Structure 1
Amino acid sequence: MSADALLDALDPDQRAVALALTGPVCVLAGAGTGKTRAITHRIAYGVRTGTYAPTNVLAVTFTARAAGEMRTRLRDLGVVGVQARTFHAAALRQLGFFWPQVVGGAVPRLVDHKARLVAEAAAGIGLSVDRLGVRDLASEIEWAKVSLVPADDYVAAAAAADRPPPAGFDAASVARLLTAYEEAKSDRGVIDFEDVLLVLAGILQSRPDVADQVRRQYRHFVVDEYQDVSPLQQHLLDQWLGDRHEVCVVGDPSQTIYSFTGATPYHLLTFGQRHPGAQVVRLVRDYRSTPQVVDLANRTLRAAGRDQVGGLELVAQRPPGPPVGLTAYDDDEAEAAGVAARVGRLIKAGTPAREVAVLYRTNAQSEAFEQALADAGIGYLVRGGERFFARKEVRDGMVLLRGAARSTADEPVGEAVRHVLATAGWSAEAPAARGALRERWDSLQALVALADEVGSREGATLVDLVAELDERASAQHAPAVDGVTLASLHAAKGLEWDAVFLTGLSEGLVPISLAETDAAVAEERRLLYVGITRAREHLELSWARARTPGGRASRTRTRFLDRIFPDGDAGGRRRPSAARVERPVDRADADPVLLDALKEWRRGVAVDSHKPAWTVLPDGCLAEVAATRPASTSELARVRGIGPAKIDRYGPSLLAIVARHGGAATPV
């Protein structure tokens, strides 16, 4: 592809990014505006025009997945040799190279987890800690280190940041722990995750010869997700740059959601002050989401008023799609069942399961959705669970593929992989049953799908696939596995799906009850914005009035929706332009005689199956059946909480009970 052809693939704003090859550049890129496309084409254009030597470019990102995607895109553009890594991966690589000549010997062992060291340090200064206390103190140590706050300054710095110490501890005790923790590390001769950046930055500061060597190697820098840079990461970037200004940063203040880890949009918002004369390019054309989704995202930030700093107004580029849905449920169980039913209908209508996500504020919320999806016979994956490349079937499959790569010559990549993985349990048809067997198949199928992708490249062989898998494994850049994604809003950052369900949108969850300051609440709004902008086409919002079936309906929906849906919740009177407001079935209309008959039937099923009654069907489902009196399977499927699996198991019995008690409800 020629240099001019690279530019032809970009819109005017993206082209402006690609043409800004020298000097400081700040790209303010809204969600879905093609920022990765813009910066990878910028690098490729710089290489094609001779402005950059590939090996002189260092692109740093915040996740291994993003780094892997950047490398893949650059390779597809015909560019090899560019280093695309996370801050920590780049720093660890450099530290490993320079440590022997600066300090001598091997780099100290990197500890994976702080827990044992934190517990040891706490005991040494007389602090009583339990498991949760150790976790909270470890997080506080990380915040202090990435914020460049030494132990002597911790009390004042935490107060200035309006950051209360972990529950059960005072700021002075945390400050003493910081010192004890560093001493514990020193005694054991180990370093932690943050030390990789701190130590490298210290070497570059104290050794001009080393700094000069790094700066001769890397002359051009690209920093993605710059709104999430911590003071420590900025400090290291400053050492890499020296007095130069050859840096392109890309970010969106509206997607700053990690301030609890020390991330701050300050460096993005003040980039022009640090680098006078910087070119600023705004990407606002949203190619990801429908106008309905984009409008809701824009209004979510607009409603923040003065609390929203530096936000971008997105402009939708896709054709109109379905309206956004807002539903209020009676309780968490009904919400999970209702969402599972809607997911089932989307999949039946043709949306692949891997293109559906259920997002929530806290990881503890996932259990109800896992159960509801399992009851509905829908496969799912919990993001943040076991890593793909750590799964036994994946490790075994890669061993088999490495062996085959040494002996397979002319067979197409896809066919060769199918033959090899058939010996590991893969088959052309997915197992009908859910559970461990299907999960293993899904993992192997992901390898097959990646093989087809690699095989589509001209001249690709099984050796190329194995190399791609090794690279992805080192970067934890897993291929897509078929199944509905369950993820927290934080874990969803950087991802996108055709259909997104934003759940649990009630006060106390969104914003979370721990958000007690204006700044914390503003970040919770940005977190909701991130969730909204993950959706390409279908977007459903929901919340539950009570935690448990029959519990007190004391919850209210999140304040963030008040200006967007001003006339009430899902029972509201007016339909906003971008959203569908749905009135849930009033279960108070349930026929009491029919409801008693349904409960009696459920008791019998529970006894026969040795299960609690509520696991058969919850009270809310029975009440809705008694209120709507479904006369067919399709009508029964509209009841929230009754998915395909429940219909197969209980549908005939439920419909027969309704028929015996007067049949379908009289049309209004």
Structure 2
Amino acid sequence: MSAQDPAAPTGTSLDEQILAGLDPEQREVATTLRGPVCVLAGAGTGKTRAITHRIAYGIATGVYTPQKVLALTFTARAANEMRNRLRSLGAAGVQTRTFHAAALRQLQYFWPQAVGGPLPGLVEHKARLITEAAQNMRLSTDRAAVRDLAAEIEWAKVSMLTPDTYPARAAGRDMPLGYEVRTVQRLYQSYEELKTDRHLIDFEDVLLLTVAVLEEDERVAATVREQYRHFVVDEYQDVSPLQQRLLDAWLGGRQDVCVVGDASQTIYSFTGATSRHLLEFPRRHPQARVIKLVRDYRSTPQVVETANRLLAARRPGAGSTPGAWATPLHLEAQRPDGPRPSWNEYPDDEAEAAGTAARIKDLVDDGVPAAEIAVLFRTNGQSQAFESALAEAGIGFQLRGTERFFNRPEVKQAVVQLRTAARAAEASDDPVRLVRDILSSLGYSDRAPRSTGAVRERWESLAALVSLADRMAAEATARDEEFTLPDLAAELERRVTQQDAPVMDGVTLASLHSAKGLEWDAVFLAGLSEGLVPIGFAETDDEIDEERRLLYVGITRAREHLVLSWTLSRTPGGRPSRRPSRFLDALREPDIPRRAPRRSRPVRAHS
């Protein structure tokens, strides 16, 4: 039986079945049920498998009570995945939530007794209030400026800085639009005053207020600590100081916590996330059990070796912050050999997009599903060329990292219409045909539009709902059951509640940041030129290190096919002034030239 084979011999006890198929290190994680535990887990090493089996094993052996376990992660998608895995392991009832979701639930429950009165309304998007505050100060209010100002305020709040304490810590930071620190401070103050006047709180306030209630009300703290006795924190390298303080408040000095992370995947420092808590965990908890997961089950040896070389090539700079770079985990590939990474140099961005689309068509023709292919780039602005090239080639695609799926206007409309139709549906109706008929009025057609932009995004959203209906119908047929429109409506209700977006059938276009936590059979890393990777505004040694980690995350998303490309110029006919990313030199195998030949047409340096 392979290390990742979930099958277990019949006749074994439940706890033995749970441990079956785990490799030695995963088994150590699963059987170390008392904290503190620190799991250093490299990309593709089965960390989610290890921690879900740990929880399930703890429940099966009677050490854990399901309702007293709180498993924390950073995205609703990751929480849903963990919840589904636990359910399949017979461990239903465990609370699996993001930090914000767990805090909001507690705040809603305890607010009346701890504070009194109704809980303030929640601001889901800061843009409106920040725009108003900026206009009151006669500052620029275009969308990009507002987004950057919102990010700076979020950084300040997760770093637990008030408007009064912000200037001292912000000194030396790059301010949005080059504003003075004092200007941003005044805007931060104005934003907070607008929220107070309108009885509103934002997502950072949810964490801050929960911390305040737990630290100031002993009765509430005692109730919460009695409710939750065991904690698991996934992606621990991404916690902010505020999230760490909330975790400390939940623990109340207890030690039953298992943290899981990889310092080499720390890519959100600009949001206030820091790997310091992960790196210092053994020092904060001297009795901690430290377990390393390095067996990579996701990627081929060729991809794994490329990732290892990237991290191994890093050298500390004179300005590197001591301790900010952890010794990387050296991954050990467990999959059979695959193709060597491909290297492609193009004369310009348009040629790169066309060449990438052609390679993708080859892969699809060879049997690789479009949904198992991704094009990753450093900035969202790079997506347009690939959208156009894929549309021209007749290849479906989806944009990741844009508005949340169920918040899109066309999806909201579709869900309402499908619910209404479900109530009126008759047994003789063909639900799959009915879904297509309903969504066609909103812009769906069986043929994808060749255009890009809003029309294409709308179609992709509706197509995802059609695919969900098709998949549910096929699964029902396989079980010899009937699929109905109310079944679809109920599934959509669940997904809306859990923000569990359906998988779209098409090539994924995404920034490197938004690709975190995902994986595909084939990954195209595009735009690997100086000024993009590393990004031009990354100037300090620590910032360059973060860019290296970002590329590492991109590489480790690939299971089998990895294609790296760069361009010599932005536009056709432009002066070839771009240089390949400095990171690429460390990635080339000995028989690959250090620089690809520079010609007027695409050149595949190696495949």
Indicate which of 183, 186, 192 corresponds to 2:196: 186
Q: CA RMSD in A?
A: 2.9
Matched, 1:64 2:76: yes
Asked if 1 retains the 8 angstrom alpha-carbon contact of 2:134 and 2:187, the reply is yes
Give 1:218 deviation, angstroms. Answer: 0.7
Whole-Å Cα distance in 2 between the matches of residues 448 and 93 of structure 1?
35
Counterpart Cα distance in 2 of 1:375 and 1:69: 35
Give the greater-gyration-radius structure (CA). 1
1:431 and 2:441 equivalent?
no
State how far apart, in whole Å, the 1-side matches of 2:256 and 2:489 are: 36
* Distance of 2:365 and 2:284 partners within structure 1: 53
CA contact 1:292–1:322 (8 Å) conserved in 2? yes
TM-score, normalized by length of structure 1?
Answer: 0.80
Indicate the residue corresponding to 1:533 in structure 2.
556
CA contact (8 A) 2:301 2:337 kept: yes
Distance 1:416 1:325, change over 3 A: same
Q: Deviations over 1:169-193 (max 9, x none)?
A: 1112222333232222111211111
Tell me the equivalent position of 2:353. 336
Please tell me whether residue 297 in structure 1 is matched to residue 307 in structure 2: yes
Offset of 1:408 from its aligned partner?
A: 8.7
- SS, match of residue 299 in structure 2: coil
Find 1:373's aligned residue among 385, 390, 393: 390
SS class of match (2:254): coil
Task: Please list, as runs of the form range in 1=range in 2, the aligned pairs for 1:357-368 lying within 5 A after superposition.
Answer: 357-368=374-385
Structure 2 distance, partners of 1:551, 1:452, is 51
* d(CA) in 2 for partners of 1:115, 1:540: 37
5 Å-filtered alignment, 1:609-648, equals none
| Counterpart contact for 1:379–1:434, Cα < 8 Å | no
Tell me how far 1:561 sits from its aligned partner. Answer: 1.1
> 1:594-628 deviations in whole A, cap 9, x for unaligned?
xxxxxxxxxxxxxxxxxxxxxxxxxx69xx9xxxx
Q: Which amino acid aligns with 2:184?
A: V
Alignment pair present for 1:96 and 2:108: yes
Q: Quote the residue 1:554 is aligned against.
A: 577
The residue number in structure 1 matching 2:50 is 38
Which digits, 9 at most, give the CA deviation of each residue in 1:90-136, with x for residues without a partner?
11111111111222222101112222322333455x45233243332
Find the counterpart in structure 1 of residue 532 from structure 2.
Answer: 509
Question: CA–CA distance in 2 between the matches of 1:458 and 1:2?
Answer: 29
Cα distance change, pair 460–492 in 1 and its aligned pair in 2 (3 A): farther
Report the residue type matching 1:233 in the other structure: Q
1:111-190 equivalences under 5 Å are 111-124=123-136, 126=137, 128-131=139-142, 132-159=144-171, 162-190=172-200
Correspondence 1:421 to 2:430: no
Equivalent pair of 1:23/1:246 in contact (CA under 8 Å): yes
Q: Distance between the aligned counterparts of 1:128 and 1:432, measured in 2?
A: 45
Count of aligned pairs: 572
Structure 1 459/211 Cα, relative in aligned 2: closer, same or farther at 3 Å?
Answer: farther
Identify the residue that residue 453 of structure 2 maps to in structure 1.
Answer: none
Task: Report the Cα offset of residue 565 of structure 1.
Answer: 2.9
Any stretches of 5+ residues in structure 2 without a counterpart? 1-12, 451-455
Range 472-481 or range 53-62, more displaced: 472-481
In the alignment, does 2:522 pair up with 1:499?
yes
Q: CA deviation at 1:391?
A: 6.0
> For 2:342, what is the secondary structure of its paired residue?
strand
Instruction: Tell me by how many angstroms 1:51 deviates.
Output: 0.8
The 1:6/1:562 distance shift into structure 2, 3 A limit, reads same
Partner AA of 1:518 in structure 2: D
Answer yes or no: is 1:20 the counterpart of 2:32: yes
AA at the equivalent of 1:129: S
Assess if the C-alpha contact under 8 Å between 2:472 and 2:483 holds in 1.
no
Instruction: Report how far residue 525 of structure 1 moved.
Output: 0.4
1:34 and 1:46, CA in 2 relative to 1: closer, same or farther beyond 3 A?
A: same
How far residue 38 of structure 1 moved from its aligned partner, in angstroms, is 0.7
- Choose from 396, 413, 426 the match for 2:414: 396
Query: Match of 2:175, as an amino acid?
Result: P
Residue 5 (structure 2) aligns with: none
Percentage of pairs with the same residue: 58
Q: Whole-Å Cα distance in 2 between the matches of residues 506 and 566 of structure 1?
A: 19
C-alpha separation in 2, matches of 1:459 and 1:224: 37
Please, what TM-score do these two structures have when normalized by structure 2? 0.88
72, 78, 86: which is aligned to 2:98? 86
